[in-house]
Structure 1
Amino acid sequence: MPVLNRIASFAEEMKGWRRHLHQYPELAFDCHKTAAWIVARLREMGVDEIHEGIAQSGVVAVINGQGPGPVMGLRADMDALPIEEMTGAEYASKVPGKMHACGHDGHVTMLLGAAKYLAETRNFAGKVVLLFQPAEEDGGGGQVMVQEGVMERFGIETVYGIHNAPNVAFGHFYTTPGPLMASVDTAYVKVLGKGGHGATPHETVDPVVAIVAMVQAVQTIIPRNVYALDEAVISVTMIHTGSASNVIPEDGMFAATIRCFKPDVRDLLKKRFYEIVEGTASAFGVTAEIDYDWGYPATINHEAEAAFAAEVAREVAGADAVDDRANREMGSEDFSYMLEARPGAYLFLGTGPGAGLHHAGFDFNDEAAPLGASFFARLVEKGQPLR
């Protein structure tokens, strides 16, 4: 079964939705105009309930099926990124310094397409709950929605999400049971020494050499402290210090992103990071202040739900276009909080060649939206069939 015929019939309308959203990106929790536009579309579709202001600007909509049955949650993130767009598209961002560089405009369009179809046909039992979430890129809107009780309030029993994947064959789905995406933590380290003249280093306490030693040492954590089959990454991404070639600075800083899949490995990485940085600081006679930001947990698919989602994806895309044992990825997602709260699964949908995610030249492939909408719709119809 390819794209559902009814969804195919309004594919051009979906393209219009997506390109409108693309022109008016909003960041983090400040997605109020996006939310208002979504609510207007949902009202046109005749959904049964609309709830606004969840996680500040999130929207939850409910569509009732025919008779009692399970309750499934479907999630789309709707925030953009602080990037100046370089696509040159006629529908490019009209907001300076902001753009939909991760395809969340496409995710919203997929879920709206499914909503339009499901509100018309209602060929399912129970209810479907549509979760339009802000602040995936920054702020953890998924966590906030869970903390505000959306799962309990709306009786959600299972939950599913999807992300576009540029440079993956168009129309191909991939996922895996268990860990799919990594946890993400961020460490900021400020190193305090004693500055002075570059010609008299013996009169200083040099933070530069201490930072260099710390950066080199933390790179030994994974090869020497983490079991080789437990994937993990530590990448130092910033080093800032100094202002002149003949001045030893008073202080400096570095930052690192730290990613893995297992809670015990996550704890180990933090423990060893502190030990190495503080020990190196002591050895070099400097002071180190560590701000360790505990970020999103790993995105862990539930086995039964991942298998079911892959089965539905095969109906939409064909058996040869679904990989249900894909490699896990070091990227992260706050859908992880929803999967901690309820059984469910997260999948990727290939959108073909193009600029990568978070690139100024990225543009969501509109041809993929009907596929994603059909997948969402069939999840509900197949998971909550009429008896």
Structure 2
Amino acid sequence: MTKTADHPLLSDFGVAELIEWRRNLHRQPELSGQEERTAETVGAFLANTAPDRIITGIGGYGVAAIYDSGTPGLRVLLRCELDGLPIEDLADVPHRSTSPGKGHQCGHDGHMAILAGMARILGQQRPASGAVVLMFQPAEEDGSGALAVVNDAAFDALKSDYAFAIHNMPGIPFGQMLIKDGPVCCASRGMTLRLTGRTAHASQPEMGLSPMAAISRLMPGLTALSSPSGTPTGDFGFAVVTVTHAQMGAPAFGIAPGEARLFVTLRTLTNAAMSSLVERAEALAQEVAQGEGLDLEIGYSDVFVTTENDPDATAVVRKAMEEAAVPCNVGLLPMRASEDFGHFGRHAKAAIMLLGADEDRPALHNPDYDFPDELIPIGVKIYAAILKQLIGPERAAP
């Protein structure tokens, strides 16, 4: 395990406590918008660190703690996520999820433990100037949480000059950090197409109006809107359209179908490119539906804007990592995956970092993924180095 003495206020015992706390969160995951018990657990931990203020119920079940120096200076927000995934936990560990069909395969339990470590430190030593906000955000996995937080009236008390987030990432050497300025996570959204015709007896399909031909055209037609390159570069040079679910009619042999649904994920590097892709996808769907004489309904969910790193925030991270001797490079960025952290960039100079969880570890969202506990003190070290760059060394709390 990585030595925990990287910060004098985070002892070996303190890290062991954070590990057990993380594992308890792992046993009891809650889905996006349902994180009531998780929020209560977080709030109880934060209360024991004596912050100057705790705010609950932000954007749903969001929890924030403010640690104020009492002197003028920058305000820095550090963010993690509360929610798990609707995935069965198959990891061979004693702390495997006890909630059927739910798991923390994205490592949000580990992100919470890192911020809990920062709360322990800030509770003992306030920053030299300014203030630190620890934001435990709900509903990241469906893209709704960050937007709900920043649109909540309570967020006015949390607005900061800088905002930072860490996301663990398998496939990257352990403890190595990836960061770059500009777009780092893609915009994406779930597009639902509902095609309605008319059912008929299977012996007389000509008496109905089946969506079969439309679905058969739309699945390859929509995926053909993807760009040839699999690398997300350029404003309009990258797009991925993925059919994720198709349903047509009832599971019966005597009924010719009269309705179908198609779930499609749209993905681009920038918000402008997403607008263009949405326009093209909708035009194709309308053309096909009209050609087959079908009614069409289009809906959207899981909407993520692009996440862009501010150049100044990125420069702060790079300098802090150089002084903290944490390996830092661009690596595979920008990445195809989406993150709702981009909404914080509307209110602060923001940057998100990817922290290597090991090259041989299962990928995120795999049923056997488990956050490596050894990353907790490294994440704390990274955040402490960033805070030192912006608001100076700590002073004893009153």
Structure-to-structure mapping, 1:199-238, within 5 angstroms: 202-223=206-227, 230-238=237-245
1:363 aligns with 2:370: yes
**Contact 2:142 2:303 (C-alpha < 8 Å) held by counterparts:** no
Match of 2:347 among 341, 353, 360: 341
Q: What is the CA deviation profile of residues 93-123 of structure 1, one whole-angstrom value per residue up to 9, with x for unaligned ones?
A: 2223222111111000001111211222335
**Contact 2:59 2:150 (C-alpha < 8 Å) held by counterparts:** no
CA–CA distance in structure 2, aligned partners of residues 83 and 7 of structure 1? 33
Cα offset for 1:194?
Answer: 3.4
Structure-to-structure mapping, 1:127-276, within 5 angstroms: 127-138=131-142, 140-196=144-200, 202-223=206-227, 230-242=237-249, 243-244=251-252, 247-276=255-284
Structure 2 match to 1:376: 383
* Residue type at the aligned position of 1:367: E
Q: Classify the secondary structure of the residue corresponding to 2:375.
A: helix
CA–CA distance in structure 2, aligned partners of residues 199 and 292 of structure 1? 36
Cα offset for 1:270?
Answer: 1.2
Unpaired runs of 5+ residues, structure 2, are none
TM-score when scaled to structure 2? 0.89
* Coordinate RMSD, CA, aligned: 2.5
Structure 2 match to 1:81: 85
Structure-to-structure mapping, 1:303-342, within 5 angstroms: 303-318=311-326, 321-324=327-330, 326-342=332-348
Query: CA separation of 1:291/1:66 partners in 2, compared to 1, >3 Å: closer, same or farther?
Result: closer
Q: Classify the secondary structure of the residue corresponding to 1:122.
A: strand
The farther-off stretch of 345-354 and 200-209 is 200-209
Structure 2 match to 1:49: 53
Q: Classify the secondary structure of the residue corresponding to 1:168.
A: coil
The farther-off stretch of 73-82 and 136-145 is 136-145
Query: CA separation of 1:288/1:188 partners in 2, compared to 1, >3 Å: closer, same or farther?
Result: same
Number of matched pairs: 384
* Residue type at the aligned position of 1:365: P
**Contact 1:66 1:125 (C-alpha < 8 Å) held by counterparts:** yes
Cα offset for 1:241?
Answer: 1.3
Cα offset for 1:358?
Answer: 1.5
**Contact 2:49 2:120 (C-alpha < 8 Å) held by counterparts:** yes
**Contact 2:235 2:269 (C-alpha < 8 Å) held by counterparts:** no
Greater helix fraction, Structure 1 or Structure 2: 1
Structure 2 match to 1:95: 99
Cα offset for 1:189?
Answer: 0.9
**Contact 2:199 2:256 (C-alpha < 8 Å) held by counterparts:** yes
1:59 aligns with 2:59: no
Q: Classify the secondary structure of the residue corresponding to 1:214.
A: helix
Query: CA separation of 1:228/1:19 partners in 2, compared to 1, >3 Å: closer, same or farther?
Result: closer
Q: Classify the secondary structure of the residue corresponding to 1:45.
A: coil
Structure 2 match to 1:292: 300
Cα offset for 1:61?
Answer: 0.5
The farther-off stretch of 14-23 and 246-255 is 246-255
Cα offset for 1:354?
Answer: 2.0
Cα offset for 1:325?
Answer: 6.0
Q: Classify the secondary structure of the residue corresponding to 2:388.
A: helix
* Residue type at the aligned position of 1:61: A
Q: What is the CA deviation profile of residues 45-69 of structure 1, one whole-angstrom value per residue up to 9, with x for unaligned ones?
A: 2222212222232111011236321
1:7 aligns with 2:14: no
Structure 1 match to 2:357: 351
Q: Classify the secondary structure of the residue corresponding to 2:354.
A: strand
Structure 2 match to 1:109: 113
Query: CA separation of 1:298/1:197 partners in 2, compared to 1, >3 Å: closer, same or farther?
Result: same
**Contact 1:66 1:123 (C-alpha < 8 Å) held by counterparts:** no
Identity of aligned residues (%): 29
**Contact 1:177 1:325 (C-alpha < 8 Å) held by counterparts:** no
* Residue type at the aligned position of 2:361: G
CA–CA distance in structure 2, aligned partners of residues 281 and 41 of structure 1? 54
Cα offset for 1:197?
Answer: 5.4
CA–CA distance in structure 1, aligned partners of residues 331 and 362 of structure 2? 25
Q: What is the CA deviation profile of residues 229-273 of structure 1, one whole-angstrom value per residue up to 9, with x for unaligned ones?
A: 621111111111143467531121211000112222111111111
CA–CA distance in structure 1, aligned partners of residues 284 and 89 of structure 2? 40
Query: CA separation of 1:338/1:15 partners in 2, compared to 1, >3 Å: closer, same or farther?
Result: same
Cα offset for 1:138?
Answer: 2.6
Cα offset for 1:324?
Answer: 3.4
Unpaired runs of 5+ residues, structure 1, are none
**Contact 1:76 1:161 (C-alpha < 8 Å) held by counterparts:** yes
**Contact 1:151 1:157 (C-alpha < 8 Å) held by counterparts:** no
CA–CA distance in structure 1, aligned partners of residues 206 and 42 of structure 2? 64
CA–CA distance in structure 1, aligned partners of residues 381 and 159 of structure 2? 24
Cα offset for 1:287?
Answer: 2.4
Cα offset for 1:303?
Answer: 1.1
The farther-off stretch of 125-134 and 4-13 is 4-13
* Residue type at the aligned position of 1:311: K
Query: CA separation of 1:215/1:175 partners in 2, compared to 1, >3 Å: closer, same or farther?
Result: same
**Contact 2:316 2:389 (C-alpha < 8 Å) held by counterparts:** no
TM-score when scaled to structure 1? 0.91
The farther-off stretch of 201-210 and 18-27 is 201-210
Query: CA separation of 1:229/1:11 partners in 2, compared to 1, >3 Å: closer, same or farther?
Result: same
Cα offset for 1:42?
Answer: 1.7
**Contact 2:177 2:329 (C-alpha < 8 Å) held by counterparts:** yes
